[in-house]
Amino acid sequence: MAKCNVNTNERFADIQMLRYELKGFEDLSLNQKLYIFCLAKATLMGRDITFDQQGKYNLRIRKTLETVYLHYEGDRECEEFKAFEVYLKRIWFASGIHHHYGCEKFKPGFSEEYFYHLLENIGEELLPIKRGETKEDLMRQLESILFDPEVMPKRVNQTDGEDLVLTSACNFYEDVTQEEVERFYAKMKNTDNPNPPSYGLNSKLTKRNNEVVELTWKEDGLYGETIREIVSWLLKAQKYAENEGQKHVIDLLVKFYRTGSLEDFDRYCIAWVEQHEGLVDFINGFIEVYGDPLGMKGTWEGIVEYKDLEATKRTQTISQNAQWFEDHSPVDPRFRKPEVKGVTANVICAAMLGGEEYPASAIGINLPNSNWIRQEHGSKSVTIGNLTDAYNKAAQGNGFRDEFVIDKETVALMNQYADITDDLHTDLHECLGHGSGQLLPTTDPDALKAYGNTIEEARADLFGLYYVADHKLVELGLTPNDEAYKAQYYSYLMNGLLTQTIRIKEGDKIEEAHMRNRALIAWWTLEHAEGAVELVQEEVNYASAEDALKDAEGNIITTRTYVKVNDYEKLRHLFGELLAEIQRIKSEGDYEAARQLVEKYAVNIDPALHREILARYKKLNLAPYKGFINPKMTLHYDEEGTPTDVLLDYEESYTDQMLRYSDEYGTL
């Protein structure tokens, strides 16, 4: 088994590729390894679905560019071909032509004329050309999509006052307006069902004969070819399951994939959340709704995991005390759960990432998303320890804190406690934050519409921020003392007020729900802080003009802005105050209050401050985004052809992995 080195030389655009190690994999039983292997195949099989969901032309674009990459015989060392390679790598990373985080369309670093030159040198029989179509037809269509900034500019548009469906390039809707979508699902919700399914989660909405119709993603419906392959590998995995409960979960997931029934999906979710035995677990399906501007459609994702038993002691301590945290929450008692059910939390090792979780992945997950299932059956939370470990190793000694943290004392505080409190905040966010609180009986779970994802993430983050400072964590042995939480508070506010904007191009607004959440919390807190936290500026003196730090336009940066915290205890009270209001908004479905909070605090960026932060970050020569290369899994057989082991290879390059995946898992 090849040794895993977290850092790689794979870097392009704004992205650094990392590897993650499957710690303890060699100690698993053969059956557990084979279970993981088959689940990993099911995870990778869904890749084409995610590409297609992110945009209706993404698969055609990917196949065309991959064909050029594999067969072009011209000069591959010129600057335009190198720019073409970067563009293809970005499309692989984002599962399409829009940024995986910011959602804006990539601008190719090569010209339209060069694009035509590349395709002219490729045989027509190699390209994804439809019947009755010519290569010229393909070239003209892709030219418009790739190069015209007015065509499909955003994958997910969240601009207040616009038709979010018509102005979003994601492939969940076609030929319908936002009003038509909302009216269609409002009719479905107009029932007395106390346990409603997640309407629209696994379907595309379009029109047939001028009538709005729902096309379901299932074995004999849309994406059927891919779903049949996923099902095949799930059934193979079932043979190696650790217990009958795991086999039952797979049975229910397969049934959902075959029927497309959301009631079947809920049955699967209930069985999955109640299945705790065994080391291995997985997520596979249409899950998170961040890719839909209306927050309804689930983008396909997959992850295979196994428990880190030692690290899980931390999360189990939290989950075992879930009722205490709920009872002491600063929110209105009407919005607290009187009885917290089924809250479980584990630290896990990711064994394979797929779909929306690959190459960029979450570091914590809490599921299922259905409010009534959470209320009646509980939820599962995971912190993905080996991914967090990879991030931490990549960040060591990179100069980021020295540049942006206000003084050496605060840097020392963060160096000592930030990793511990970051993990704890993730645990509290996923395990308790998302699982806390309750809706009023009359509240529609989708009442907050496009603002729902941001409000939900803010709710979970605030829960974590409020409790990471509680002495209860010291009593439970989760933090070493009553000072450690300050590292998390400083890090969070610095990120929300300043440094997360390194991920946004100058002149753009904040679009992504998690970034909006952090901005909302940080800027609301700053406005209400009354001196507890402030932004301070220090004058910068340069020895010469050549040494001066400059922005993108060549203007000299004369000041550096820092976060200064004067009263950490007051910050905790402010986080509790905002948590109470965010929970009220969620519980009551107060759309207008959600809209006002998000639009005031979470969308706009101060232009001068943004230019400064971008200039300071640029000098560090760091990539603002990280992603992962999966390990390559290979079966080892004995002379009789019986599998005897699953071997891991950490040496595969990013390009080789992406081309292999397109070959082995290209189903659409």
Give the domain range for residue 219. Answer: 24-38+171-187+198-307+642-667
- Say which residue, 568 or 392, is predicted with more confidence: 568
**8 A C-beta contact, residue 509 and residue 454:** no
Alpha-carbon distance of 11 to 32, in angstroms, equals 34
**8 A C-beta contact, residue 23 and residue 305:** no
| Whether residue 470 sits in one domain with residue 419 | yes
Alpha-carbon distance of 51 to 59, in angstroms, equals 6
* CATH number of the structural domain spanning residue 213: 3.30.540.30
Give the per-residue pLDDT at 1: 54
| Whether residue 287 sits in one domain with residue 223 | yes
- Whole-number mean pLDDT of the chain? 95
Residue 359 token pair: 């190459």
The verdict on residue 9 lying in a domain is no
422 Cβ contact list (under 8 Å, min separation 6): 388, 488, 491
| Whether residue 232 sits in one domain with residue 106 | no
Taking only the tens place, the pLDDT of each residue in 213-272 is 999 999 999 999 999 999 999 999 999 999 999 999 999 999 999 999 999 999 999 999
Q: What is the CA radius of gyration of the chain?
A: 25
Q: How far from 369 is each of 80, 194, 372, 377, 442, CA to CA, in Å?
A: 45, 16, 9, 12, 18
**8 A C-beta contact, residue 350 and residue 361:** yes
**8 A C-beta contact, residue 155 and residue 96:** yes
The verdict on residue 637 lying in a domain is no
Max Cα-Cα span within the chain: 74
The verdict on residue 609 lying in a domain is yes
Amino acid at 552: A
Give the per-residue pLDDT at 563: 98
Q: What is the mean pLDDT of residues 508-532?
A: 96
Q: What is the mean pLDDT of residues 593-606?
A: 97
Alpha-carbon distance of 110 to 81, in angstroms, equals 8
Taking only the tens place, the pLDDT of each residue in 162-213 is 999 999 999 999 999 999 999 999 998 877 788 999 999 999 999 999 999 9
| Whether residue 268 sits in one domain with residue 148 | no
Number of domains making up the chain = 3
Alpha-carbon distance of 596 to 222, in angstroms, equals 38
Q: How far from 536 is each of 518, 528, 531, 551, CA to CA, in Å?
A: 20, 16, 11, 19
The verdict on residue 8 lying in a domain is no
| Whether residue 647 sits in one domain with residue 579 | no
Taking only the tens place, the pLDDT of each residue in 427-465 is 999 989 998 999 999 999 999 999 999 999 999 999 999
Amino acid at 2: A
* pLDDT surpasses 70 at 523: yes
The verdict on residue 490 lying in a domain is yes
* pLDDT surpasses 80 at 413: yes
| Whether residue 314 sits in one domain with residue 303 | no
Q: What is the mean pLDDT of residues 63-85?
A: 96
Kindly indicate the confidence band of residue 639, based on its pLDDT and cuts at 50, 70 and 90: very high
**8 A C-beta contact, residue 577 and residue 482:** no
The verdict on residue 556 lying in a domain is no
The verdict on residue 267 lying in a domain is yes
Alpha-carbon distance of 549 to 561, in angstroms, equals 14
Amino acid at 563: V
| Whether residue 471 sits in one domain with residue 356 | yes
Alpha-carbon distance of 338 to 161, in angstroms, equals 38
| Whether residue 203 sits in one domain with residue 132 | no
Sequence-ordered strand ranges (E) for 136-216: 203-208, 211-216
Alpha-carbon distance of 82 to 621, in angstroms, equals 20
Alpha-carbon distance of 229 to 79, in angstroms, equals 40
| Whether residue 98 sits in one domain with residue 179 | no
Kindly indicate the confidence band of residue 2, based on its pLDDT and cuts at 50, 70 and 90: low
Amino acid at 630: N
Query: Would strands 625-629 and 15-19 be described as parallel, antiparallel, or unpaired?
Result: parallel
615 Cβ contact list (under 8 Å, min separation 6): 549, 550, 551, 552, 557
* pLDDT surpasses 90 at 397: no
The verdict on residue 7 lying in a domain is no
Enter the DSSP assignment of 105: B
Give the per-residue pLDDT at 551: 81
Residue 80 token pair: 């335009």
Which residue is it, tokens 């921020």? 465
Alpha-carbon distance of 487 to 508, in angstroms, equals 30
Kindly indicate the confidence band of residue 5, based on its pLDDT and cuts at 50, 70 and 90: confident
| Whether residue 150 sits in one domain with residue 110 | yes
Q: Which of 130-139, 336-345, 450-459, 537-546 has the highest mean pLDDT?
A: 450-459
Helix boundaries (H) for 370-512: 371-377, 385-395, 400-404, 408-427, 452-468, 471-475, 485-497
Taking only the tens place, the pLDDT of each residue in 536-566 is 999 988 877 777 888 888 888 888 999 999 9
Alpha-carbon distance of 527 to 529, in angstroms, equals 6
| Whether residue 290 sits in one domain with residue 382 | no
Kindly indicate the confidence band of residue 51, based on its pLDDT and cuts at 50, 70 and 90: very high
* pLDDT surpasses 70 at 594: yes
Alpha-carbon distance of 501 to 505, in angstroms, equals 8
| Whether residue 302 sits in one domain with residue 313 | no
Helix boundaries (H) for 432-590: 452-468, 471-475, 485-497, 513-528, 568-588
Tell me the helices (H) and strands (E) count for the chain, helix number first: 24, 14
Residue 265: which H helix or E strand, with range? helix 262-274
